Chains A and B, each alone.
Chain A
Amino acid sequence: MSLEVKGLYAGYDRSLVIQGIDAIFSEGRVNIILGPNGSGKSTLLKTMAKVLLPRAGTIRLFNKDLQNLSLKEIAKLIAYLPQRSNNVPRMTVFESILLGRKPYFTFGPGNGDLEIVNSIIEELKLRGFENKFVDELSGGELQKVLLARCLAQTPKVLLLDEPINHLDPKNQIEILEIIKTTTYRVNLITLLVLHDLNLALRYGDELFFMKDGKLLWKGFTSEVISEVIEMVFEVEGELAEFSNQRLFIISSYSTPSEKRVPKAL
């Protein structure tokens, strides 16, 4: 059971961003997408959430083509956290999380829905925040609420675009731990876009490196070599081991003229 992307091309009115991506994202794994700014990570996620329609290629979830699923069916299967939330309405935390249950409503929220929301509030340590207005939260608190809503959708796939970009170090780890344990417990297909290489090395089961709309390298985290990172991000550095943890340490960055193409690839 997996999420399969085949020959995917996608983009916007005037630009083709995703240029031929093939990948398989497996269940029960934290898949992390890495790549420089503008490489198309967010566009890929939007396409997989069916927020953006592909120009060509297919996306299959559990062997069903996303194209044949309605938005409501997709909402029950795939939860998507956008990189930016431009619209933050005046609404309480509880109401905002409850909205994640909307795809399941017939008339309105039932007791089951309230239970799910309450258990997620508990899990994300949002107790005490329920009646606060979301437009009065700090960036990190808001991010937690949005993640809570994604979890409230009880999805099979979690697409999170930079879910920890507003959080302090402790909260970053806390959120990533929650994502990891939920992924393993419910057997989710989780895709994370992260910019922090070291957190990716620590939490990722599989890594996917993107550049210029293409997938340059994919594989298990333990298999990644420093040349991959150097080429994708145009930096120089090395992978080191420190208290049982692999880290990538940048020594210098290359200017565009001296770009290297490593033989290893």
Chain B
Amino acid sequence: MSFKWSLGLFLLFLMILLAFLSISYGSVNISFLDVMRLLFQKDREEAYIVWEIRLPRTIGGILTGASLGVSGAVMQNVLQNPLASPFTLGISHGAAFGAAFAIIVLGAGKTFNVGPEGFSILQGVPVVFSAFCGALLTVLIILGLSLLRSLSPQAIILAGVALSSLFTSATMFLQYFSDEVRVASTVFWTFGDVGKAGWQENKIMALTFCISFALLWVNRWNYNAMLWGDETAKNLGTNPKFLRIFSLLICAILTAVPTAFLGIIGFVGLISPHIIRLLIGNDYTLLIPFSAMAGAGLLLASDLLARTILSPIVLPVGIITSFIGAPVFLTLLLRRNRF
């Protein structure tokens, strides 16, 4: 019991520490003390950096990481597959297609470079909206199929793979008939970047996260029952089919929102639950909140690395998460950690 509580506290502390680091590091370094001061004095010059650039970026990172971590934990449960991740159902490919469709066919989206941190805005409402629709459409098709034919978890994953490849080819088709600039912006869109997060985006992400988290958290004991397979779960009063569809729908929205805003950020959702599982086992009453904190911490750390590793160049965090995510994941696999 006490180990689990101290782990929770440790994760919380780590997250707050990383958040402070994330606010103070950058092309202009601001000391911890100054950060504290600037959070309350908005009139000073550096306050702009803290309030308009670093803080939204940091909060965006926390929300995105937490969303991905929670989705990963829940999807691995209801799909009964340790490799399930927020993108298993083809969410990222659907979103990428949506973005490409908006950029290439509708001609939306432009690239700017703004401010000392050199972050780029290239979305605009149509691109975000279209990406969101693309992501959700994929998931709705799969859930629709599974309702029609009552698909097994394995079949749902395979359907996700099939739709992913369909959307990839559709995206490539669009790109083939487009000009260089637009192809470049679609490719650039796919690089997940927390720098795209502003206050408006964060508000929507925070709302999505809070509602989704509550809805998933209510089912924590159902997820514990699901670990034993559908038959046992049923005998413990859980309806596996309903829970599966309900949870996947929530996770889809929870993932589609940050993905539409920031682009694709891989591996965080896959790995965060596994790290926690390695430490405390499979108890979903703790796995859900701890995966959220681990995801947030992981994304903040990756973003810090992304900003410092080739400084002054700021890499999109999606590149870093995949880059460190893959070896971490391979290590986990080699340790034969059981689901």
Contact = CB atoms under 8 A, between A and B. Distances in A.
Do the two shown chains form a genuine complex with each other?
A: yes
A100 to B, nearest CB: 7
Interface string B185-207: 00000000000000000000000
A79 interface: yes
A102 B227 CA distance: 13
B238 interface: yes
Given A50-B234, A135-B338, A87 B80 contact: yes
Contacts of B215: none
B146 interface: no
Contact of A85 (B224, B232, B238): B232
Contact of B227 (A78, A82, A89, A100): A89
Interface residues of A, number: 32
A76 B236 CA distance: 8
A252 to B, nearest CB: 38
B231 A82 contact: yes
A103 B235 CA distance: 9
B282 interface: yes
A63 B63 CA distance: 52
Nearest to A73: B237
Nearest to B281: A90
Q: Determine which residue in A89, A105, A153 has the highest number of CB atoms from chain B within 10 A of its CB, and name it.
A: A89
B296 interface: no
Contact of B239 (A71, A99, A102): A71
B281 A100 contact: no
A75 B237 contact: yes
B281 A99 contact: no
Contacts of B229: 82, 85-87
Contacts of B227: 87, 89, 91
A51 interface: yes
Q: Determine which residue in A71, A76, A103 has the highest number of CB atoms from chain B within 10 A of its CB, and name it.
A: A71
A102 B224 contact: yes
A75 B236 contact: yes
- The interface size bin for chain B is 20 to 34
Contact of B234 (A51, A85, A100, A135): A51
B231 A89 contact: no
Given A87-B228, A89-B228, A108-B221, A71 B282 contact: no
Contacts of A201: none
A95 interface: yes
B232 A90 contact: no
A61 to B, nearest CB: 14
A192 to B, nearest CB: 16
B281 to A, nearest CB: 5
Given A90-B282, A99-B225, A102-B221, A72 B235 contact: no
Contacts of B224: 91, 95, 99, 102
Q: Determine which residue in B80, B224, B277 has the highest number of CB atoms from chain A within 10 A of its CB, and name it.
A: B224
Contacts of B80: 87
A133 interface: yes
A100 B236 contact: yes
Nearest to B278: A90
Contacts of A58: none
B235 A49 contact: yes
A90 B339 contact: yes
A151 to B, nearest CB: 13
Contacts of B237: 70-72, 74-76, 102-103
B235 A90 contact: no
B46 interface: no
Q: Determine which residue in B236, B238, B239, B281 has the highest number of CB atoms from chain A within 10 A of its CB, and name it.
A: B236
A46 B231 contact: yes
Q: Determine which residue in A87, A108, A133 has the highest number of CB atoms from chain B within 10 A of its CB, and name it.
A: A87
B117 interface: no
A25 interface: no
Contact of A95 (B236, B277, B283): B283
B285 interface: yes
B282 A108 contact: no
Contacts of A87: 80, 227-229, 232
Given A46-B231, A71-B237, A80-B232, 5 more contacts: A78-B235, A85-B232, A91-B281, A91-B283, A102-B238
Interface of A: 46, 49-51, 70-72, 74-76, 78-80, 82, 85-92, 95, 99-100, 102-103, 105, 108, 133, 135, 153
Interface of B: 80, 221, 224-225, 227-229, 231-232, 234-239, 277, 281-283, 285, 338-339
A-B complex: 5 closest residue pairs judged by Cβ atoms? A75-B237, A72-B237, A89-B227, A87-B229, A103-B237
